[in-house]
Structure 1
Amino acid sequence: MDTTTTHYVRLATAKELSLKLHEPVPVTIDSLSAALCCTPRNVKFILRKLEEQGFIHWHPGRGRGHHSEMTLLRSVNESLENHLRELIGRGKIKEAIELIGNVDINETLQEQLLRSLNKHMGFHSHVETASGQDVLRMMRSRRQGNLDPAFVYTAFETYLLGQVGNTLVTYDAKSNSFQPDLAHMWECSEDHTVWIFYLRKGVRFHHGRVMTSKDVQATLQRLHGVHSPSIWLYRDIERAEITGDYCIRFKLSRPNRFFLHLFSCIRMTILPYDMDVYERLIGTGPFQITKINEDVLELGAFEAYYGIRPHLDQVHIWFVPDLGPNDRYYELPGTSRLKLPSTDFNTNSINYPALGCQYMLFNFRKEGIHHHPKFRQALRMVYDSVALVKDLGGNRITPAGSFLPWKSEIQDWTESSLEHARELLYSSGYQGETIALSYTLNKDSKAAEWLQRRAQVIGLRLAMCPCEDNIHFGETMNAELIMAEEILEEDWQYGMIHFFKNLSNHFHMCMTPDLQSILDQKLDHFAQLPSIERAELLDEAEEMLRENNWILHGCHMNKRAQLDQSIFGMQTAEFGYMDISQLWIKISSEVCFASKESP
């Protein structure tokens, strides 16, 4: 924020001055000096600047005992909104974001400024006058996570990788089938121990080189080399043999009917063998990364993309971790939750009931009463799915007894008794000790506070341990209870097995080796089974979690999207985010049909 606006906001919000808009108020140079934290000499210089720029009217006192008078000519809201528009107009998006996050104002005004910023960012694209390009700007309420395909963990980063890179095949949820992508055809032996992929010719990476089977081989080898948390799924592959520039064969140690799922998932995004991901992420996708730092990720349309070039020319994603969401924010696919004006009807809306659910974990790596089955049963009743949806509502749409909504739908739902929970808690041997509850700040705050209140009713003491995000596990693993959310891929069988076997998620971090071994034995032959039997095995594994209360399912979520009506081509990609490669901006009819007047 520029110094003049800063000084004005300080004066206008100083409680000791009690200044009022359009009303002269007596002040002294000393009181102004205290409010501005500067010398009386500097106060006079600041007052002159403020009056010259139309912020105040200053009437100096004449003679001893006569106070000076100051009249505010602009509201704080007006001043900040004008400055925000000025920053955006000059392309200073980072400064505009910092203005909202850093200025000492009340929550209502911060929300107004955020809505104003939204109008210039997430809710519409515009034609940049200097470049003549369509640019979509978005905001995220947390820092950028890991974009390395071998380690990607969060839904948004997984979605982004789908815009930057490609896999050999893609999974089509509507037809429950696989479609060609970088491979135009594939085949397998009768016993499913040999798989062969035939690659498209002429596919280029963002750095210009043509993709070959050597890149596919190197991508798989890299998963092993960097010890990817997902490597368990690829353990049956004995070797990958290059049989030509555009043909690669995989020899397996045992039959694998799940093989196509493994080569359609984001972990097998094909990377160039001659580039280091840690230096620069290069893919073959419709967008390439043109800039990335802690503040912004900029994507540009890849002109040599082998498919259909995106309509958008650029997508800018700004990271605003200090602007946390609340229930009045809406999930803008491809962004985080952005505040919407309640009277703005000039938007397109999409509701996306997401696969997966919010849930709670017990951290079995820590000693404590939560190892007792009756304590977990009591928590199951406190963290009641029916009450969670009924009491908190919002985008919590249905109770969850599974990660899969259609499994939850067939359950009989009745609200649990807190009195029964109290009895179970007493039977567990609980002695009134404090149990730490970890949750993501802003995202899970309401649910955590709700749980704490219900726990108090039965005499259970919960200590709130908020974390900034759910990406870094350091703080999280100090707690006995952990609130989390899992959003599954549209390829739900892959999503489920990856949840159970991903070595870097909350679930794995909380399970002891003995408990994990039980699950490993259950799922060991998963990939050898046909689809129906795989689904049954996943159901058995989830039932094991329910019976032992290793996981407490909470509720299924609805991801809501709102975009300006000038944006067309809205199609959902993975996790319900908007497929930005399909979006395009419609110029207003007035512009299109306008005719120049005759000279």
Structure 2
Amino acid sequence: MSHERYLLLYMKHANAEGAGIPIPITLEELSETLHCTERNVKLILKKLGEDGFISWTGGRGRGNRSQITFLQPREKLLYQLAQLTAQKGEYRLAFELIDQFGEGTSVRSQFANWLNGHFGYRTEKVDDQDADILRLPVYRPILTLDPKDLYYSFSAHMVKQLFDCLVRFDRAADQIVPALAHAWESNSHGTEWTFHLRKGVFFHHGRELTADDVAYSLNRLQGSSASGWYVRSVARIEIKNKRTVKITLEKPNWLFPRFLCSPGLSIVPHELVEQDDHFWEHPVGTGPFHFMEWTADRFTMAANTQYFGGRAHLDGVVIVIMPENTFEYSKSWEQLLVDHDLREKEPKHGWQKIESVCNGCSLLTWNLGKQGIHQSADFRQGIDLLIDRSRMIRELGEDLIYPARGFHPNDLAASWEDRGDIELAIELIRQSGYDGTAIRICTYGIHEQDALWLKQHLAVYGVNITVQVETWETIREPHILRNADCLLYCVVFAEDEVCFIELYEQTGNFLRTHLDPKISGWVKNTIDDALASKEYVNLWQRLLSIEAKLKQEHMVIFLLHKKLNTYYNPNIKGVGVNSLGWIDLKDIWLEQASEPSS
């Protein structure tokens, strides 16, 4: 408190003169600055003097003003205050203080450089014991930890740290492997699935997992906006015994075990969720980490030492939620971080780099539930042909890598040069009857830059674009989705087939929301036909026919594929990127330096 009061007085009364120069002043002036009585001003001045911040000389006699001398340079003191605030975990407040008191100083950049050593992997003393702690800064909030409400990959990633699913998809082996269930079987039609639970799996609060938890976790998804689509065909769930669950489906679904690998189908403790209205503020699961603390600044987890899948090498993880406007200072942070929305960062000398092509793309979806010129297929095709994706990559660069012709990158993506037909595009737009009315592109986050590029690029051809920028939260508000002519965003496929279906099935999913109502029924029937196919090739052919129709009628404009870059200290081992595009925290460990020989 003394630091802030000193800085407030300094900003008001000493900015011109600086520290070390006596400044004539009255108690009345100080009272106005501090918004308190003169009596309280005297107490504050006494405290500031005792703490070595100021020297105070009271005026004697009528007409003699008092004098205050500021002893600490503002920049130095503010830097120290920001450090102390961050060390208490109040990172957001630290930047707010810098914004409030740091104008005209270099404190913000100094503070960011100090954070270089604060983030990353380090061994610290916790309860007098050495603990390996990983601190990771991110530039987005954790929106939810409830599996039934998952829309964004970061929230899903955090759910995976705390909870488990019945089964898990092993990407390297390309097969489903046991998780909470050690075995499972189905009938010959793919309509009945029976799962057998492991013995000795415990929730973080100490109770053993049972079939009741599985039945409750799946039943509670019915009707939910985000994850309800996974269980839309579930007819009933039977608890055969303490460790056996039978799930009966209304229609065949040979992909159902893959559904059950998704974070949205994580298993939760039934009695805690039912009894505690605030359960999701301090969740309890069976996962490799257990919840410790959740504030506006940070989310803290500790290793689950009894984890059935093997204890994490880390002892704790602190996810630091940084203000979005601090990203510009992140370029030299020592961090383990993958973020689909962060641009290229230069690694520190000697660091290792994981580079991969993001399994997804950026795209525009037309709101075909709203009236407007975009209802014209000619107009939509004309816009598609006008967009020069290769030029977009050259001019925006950084993490943009290939023009997109569909949702998924393939082996030919690197060699495809986007060449639009400008003359045909202009003629199609003319035929559509376009009269110059503004087309509203709604977007959020870093996608704003792509939307502004499209606005400038299309203006050359007489297409009037307005860009509406929302936040992670507001972009999903119903009136925002209804009023947008189109949305610009990015899709990432954690599990190809499942996420592909999610685009069309999930309530609140952008593509589903903007899907042409006339083909929604056809899409649903096509998905059901795909799920009924036991042959993987046939399943994919049916699913890809939906993408082909969207592309043929230009209901979606595919834009660009992006690359993911992860930089990490070479002494940190076990770094891998999971299906959600985030670092698998459980397997990370630090290679300790060898002990010197005696």
- The answer to whether TM tops 0.5 is yes
In the other structure, the counterpart of 2:261 is: 264
Amino acid at match of 1:501: E
| Matches for 1:553-592 after TM superposition, within 5 Å | 553-589=558-594, 592=595
The reply on whether 1:184 has 2:182 as its aligned counterpart is yes
What SS does the aligned partner of 2:564 have? strand
Distance 2:229 2:35 in 1: 63
Alpha-carbon contact 2:52-2:71 (below 8 Å) kept: no
Q: 8 Å contact 2:150–2:226 — kept in the other structure?
A: no
| Partner secondary structure for residue 81 of structure 1 | helix
Q: Deviations over 1:508-541 (max 9, x none)?
A: 2222432322322332311111211111122211
Q: Is the 8 A contact 2:190 2:253 kept in 1?
A: yes
Overall identity of the aligned pairs, in %: 25
The residue that corresponds to 1:251 in the other structure is 248
Does the Cα contact within 8 Å between 1:146 and 1:152 map onto a contact in 2?
Answer: yes
Mapped pair 1:466 → 2:469: yes
Equivalent position of 2:155 in the other structure: 157
Q: 1:401 offset after TM fit, Å?
A: 1.3
528, 549, 557: which one aligns with 2:532: 528
1:154-188 superposed Cα distances (whole Å, 9 cap, x missing partner):
00111111111111111122222111111112222
Q: How does 1:10-89 map to 2 (within 5 A)?
A: 19=16, 74=73, 76=75, 78-89=76-87
- Answering whether residue 365 of structure 2 is matched by residue 367 of structure 1, we say no
Distance in 2, matches of 1:394 and 1:275, equals 46
The 1:326/1:73 distance shift into structure 2, 3 A limit, reads closer
CA contact (8 A) 1:437 1:480 kept: yes
| Amino acid aligned to 1:185 | A
Which SS does the other structure have where 2:218 is aligned? helix
Q: Does 1:353 align with 2:357?
A: yes
Alignment of 1:205 with 2:203, yes or no, is: yes
Please name the residue that 1:304 is paired with: 306
Rounded Cα–Cα distance in structure 2 between residues aligned with 1:92 and 1:192: 52
2:492 corresponds to: 487
Tell me the amino acid that sits aligned with residue 519 of structure 1: V
Corresponding letter in the other structure for 1:273: H
Shift of residue 90 of structure 1? 4.9
Change (3 A) 1:56 1:186: same
Whole-Å separation in 2 of the counterparts to 1:189 and 1:343:
52
Quick check: 147-156 or 51-60, which moved more?
A: 51-60
Which residue number in structure 2 is paired with residue 511 of structure 1?
515
After superposition, the Cα gap between the structure-2 partners of 1:537 and 1:507, relative to the gap in structure 1 and judged at 3 Å, is: same
Residue 375 of structure 2 is aligned to residue 378 of structure 1: no
Specify the alignment match of 1:456 in structure 2.
459
Distance 2:379 2:342 in 1: 38
Do the aligned partners of 2:382 and 2:429 also contact (CA within 8 Å) in 1? yes
Change (3 A) 1:268 1:29: same
More displaced stretch, 446-455 vs 562-571: 562-571
Match of 1:223, SS state, is coil
In structure 1, the partner of 2:418 is 414
Aligned residues of 2:343 and 2:399 also touching (Cα < 8 A): no
2: CA distance between counterparts of 1:113 and 1:545? 49
Aligned length: 585
Alpha carbons of structure 1 residues 304 and 23: separation in structure 2 relative to 1, 3 Å? closer
Q: Structure 2 counterpart of 1:479, which letter? A: A
Q: What amino acid is aligned across from residue 456 of structure 1 in structure 2?
A: A
Query: Aligned pair in 2 of structure 1 residues 282, 334: CA closer, same or farther (>3 Å)?
Result: farther
Distance 1:335 1:524, change over 3 A: closer
Secondary structure of the 1:524 match is helix
1:363–1:480 CA contact under 8 A, matched in 2: yes
| CA distance, structure 1, for counterparts of residue 353 and residue 521 of structure 2 | 45
* SS of corresponding position for 1:496: helix
Determine whether 1:172 maps to 2:175: no
Unpaired runs of 5+ residues, structure 2, are none
Indicate how the Cα distance of structure 1 residues 418 and 106 shifts in structure 2: closer, same or farther if over 3 A, else same: farther
Contact 2:442 2:469 in 1 (8 A): yes
> What displacement does 1:325 show?
3.8
1:392 aligns with 2:396: yes
User: What is residue 442 of structure 2 aligned with on the other side?
Assistant: 438
Q: For the residues of structure 2 that align with 1:112 and 1:549, how far apart are their CA atoms?
A: 50
Following TM superposition, by how much is the alpha carbon of 1:446 offset from its aligned partner in structure 2, in angstroms? 1.5
Give the superposition deviation at 1:203.
Answer: 0.7
Whole-angstrom CA distance in 1 between matches of 2:23 and 2:421: 62
Relative to structure 1, is the Cα distance of residues 336 and 412 closer, same or farther in structure 2, using a 3 angstrom cutoff?
A: closer
| Cα pair distance change 1:339/1:554, threshold 3 Å | closer
Cα distance change, pair 412–327 in 1 and its aligned pair in 2 (3 A): farther
Please tell me the root mean square deviation across aligned C-alpha atoms, in Å: 4.1
What code does the residue aligned with 1:578 have?
A: I
- Scaled by the length of structure 1, the TM-score of the pair is 0.83
In structure 2, the residue matched to 1:195 is 193
The amino acid that maps onto 1:308 is G
Question: For 1:452 and 1:126, how far apart are their aligned partners in 2?
Answer: 49
1:241 aligns with 2:238: yes
8 A contact 1:162–1:285 mirrored in 2: yes
Partner of 2:291: 289
Q: Over residues 306-365 of structure 1, what are the superposed CA-to-partner deviations in whole Å (9 max), with x where a residue is unaligned? A: 121112222222323443646975995367878999683264432232211111111223
Paired AA for residue 363 in structure 1? N
Query: Partner residue of 1:424?
Result: 428
1:131 deviates by 4.8
